[in-house]
Structure 1
Amino acid sequence: MIITYSPKYAAYQKAIRAEQICLAEKMVANGSLKKQRKNPNDPARFVNKVAVTNEGEKAKIHYCLDTDKIAEEEMYDGLYAVCTDLLDDDVADILKVSEGRWQIEDCFRTMKTDFEARPVYLNREDRIKAHFLTCFLALLHFRLLNRSLKGTYTTEQLLRTLKDIKFADIEEQGFMPVYERQEITDDSHETCGFRTDYQFITKRKMKGIQKKSKRR
């Protein structure tokens, strides 16, 4: 077994856990917890269930954040173990093949969990390629935006903000933003080089914004 440590991998694990802790806190606040968890990375693993009184009597179920579980996982941040039977091969060569796997796993995690991408059963080759291209472009654009924002926001925060950016179509006049202006929207606008949070946007102005976004 070869064990390595990567600061970049540690930062990645910390960021993923932060998002999962946010979801776990929502479960605690709502008092909703799935009875069965098949996924070992389920955020519910950070939720403790208490169902007895101090005297040991049956009581109403209460949920709380499992800080001990969180601390235990933090101990292993950045560590990566590779099991191999290639005893005669150079360690550097083995690690070179294995490095970057966590980044691939992160892409699949984002596509499945955050983008909610699911298998599509297609027969024609052009449609299969179109599906893969759509998924790839969505992930690419998201990664570029996230990198431009220097990883300031979690995947969940960024996607929720993007989904909430909506406009009311004022017939024959233009568009009116119907989303709340926040620090994250200001940062996104600054990064993208245009703004959509004006009180009113004429159709001509909106066409200019669309044209500008395509150039970037």
Structure 2
Amino acid sequence: MEGEASVNIDYQKYNADKIWDGLKGYITNTLLSREEIIGQYSQLWQIEKAFRISKTDLRIRPVYHRLRNRIEAHICICFAAYTVYKELERLIIINQIRLSPEKAINEIKEIKQLSYTLPKSKETKTKILKPTNEQEWLLNLEI
């Protein structure tokens, strides 16, 4: 700034604005009651968490499609991935496993399995190679 500067406060506007301090307003086009609207708004954090999980943990990227069926397919895949993630979270909780879904997914990714065919019977078998304790818990989840 160059030269002299002055600051003035419009106390009339300040005092008029002050009466709204601490109040939260809701504007909606729904027919829900006041209590239902406030109750629904208090659950907004779950939607925000779902978007955060979708972007970070599931690495869902922006939609770069033009055709309606491709956009719908992308959204469907994203929803299915989030549903599987939430089911894993639910199973971890009910089975009292002390892992976050992110850590559980990383453990599952590291499970190694060997497939082999018996020479005489030509029967193909599979065997999980030495799972860790955490991997064992995840493989034996009660559904």
The TM-score, its normalising length taken from structure 2, stands at: 0.60
Pair 1:189 & 2:139 matched: yes
Change (3 A) 1:120 1:93: closer
Runs of 4+ in 1 over 4 A off after TM superposition: none
Q: Give, in whole Å, the separation in 2 of the partners of 1:82 and 1:166.
A: 56
Q: Give the 3-state SS of the residue equivalent to 1:175 in structure 2.
A: strand
- Structure 2 unmatched ranges of 5 or more: 1-21, 28-32
Task: Quote the sequence identity (%).
Answer: 25
Q: Give the 3-state SS of the residue equivalent to 1:123 in structure 2.
A: coil
- Structure 1 unmatched ranges of 5 or more: 1-80, 194-216
Q: Give the 3-state SS of the residue equivalent to 1:187 in structure 2.
A: helix
Q: Give the 3-state SS of the residue equivalent to 1:128 in structure 2.
A: helix
Which structure has more RCO (C-alpha within 8 Å, separation ≥ 6)? 1
CA RMSD of aligned residues (A): 2.9
What residue in structure 2 maps to residue 64 of structure 1? none
Whether the 8 Å CA contact 1:161–1:185 is kept in 2: the answer is: yes
What residue in structure 2 maps to residue 65 of structure 1? none
Change (3 A) 1:112 1:175: same
Q: Give, in whole Å, the separation in 2 of the partners of 1:168 and 1:82.
A: 62
**Greater per-residue strand proportion:** 1
Q: Which has the larger radius of gyration?
A: 2
What residue in structure 1 maps to residue 111 of structure 2? 165
User: What is the aligned residue count?
Assistant: 109
User: For 1:69-105, what per-residue CA distance to the aligned partner results, in whole angstroms no more than 9, with x for missing partners?
Assistant: xxxxxxxxxxxx983277xxx8634422312111111
Q: Give, in whole Å, the separation in 2 of the partners of 1:83 and 1:170.
A: 64
Letter in 2 for 1:117: I
User: For 1:103-135, what per-residue CA distance to the aligned partner results, in whole angstroms no more than 9, with x for missing partners?
Assistant: 111111111111111113112222211111111
User: For 1:33-92, what per-residue CA distance to the aligned partner results, in whole angstroms no more than 9, with x for missing partners?
Assistant: xxxxxxxxxxxxxxxxxxxxxxxxxxxxxxxxxxxxxxxxxxxxxxxx983277xxx863
Pair 1:100 & 2:43 matched: yes
